[in-house]
Amino acid sequence: DPAAGDGDPALTPFQPRTIDTLQFWTGNEPFADYDLIALCNVEAVPAEVAEKLENAMQGGTALFVMLGG
């Protein structure tokens, strides 16, 4: 984001949203509403949430996984 979030919307087309682990684990987040989901240092994904992520990806949502240590 070259304008640090304060610039012309044409230059800052991203609207990042951060959710915490508890909110992620509930599976209530509408994953299919996002163009990209980044999982950063997520230790485990419950089966129900994995299924919802898979469905979102089959609908066109991209998934980016970053492993942590």
Residue 65 is predicted with a pLDDT of: 94
Residue 1 is predicted with a pLDDT of: 53
d(CA 26, CA 29): 8
pTM of this structure: 0.74
Higher pLDDT, 13 or 60: 60
Q: How many residues does the chain have?
A: 69
CB atoms closer than 10 angstroms to residue 5: 9
pLDDT 10s digits, 2-51: 566 666 666 666 778 888 888 888 888 899 999 999 998 888 899 999 99
Cβ proximity of 12 and 1 under 8 Å: yes
d(CA 1, CA 43): 28
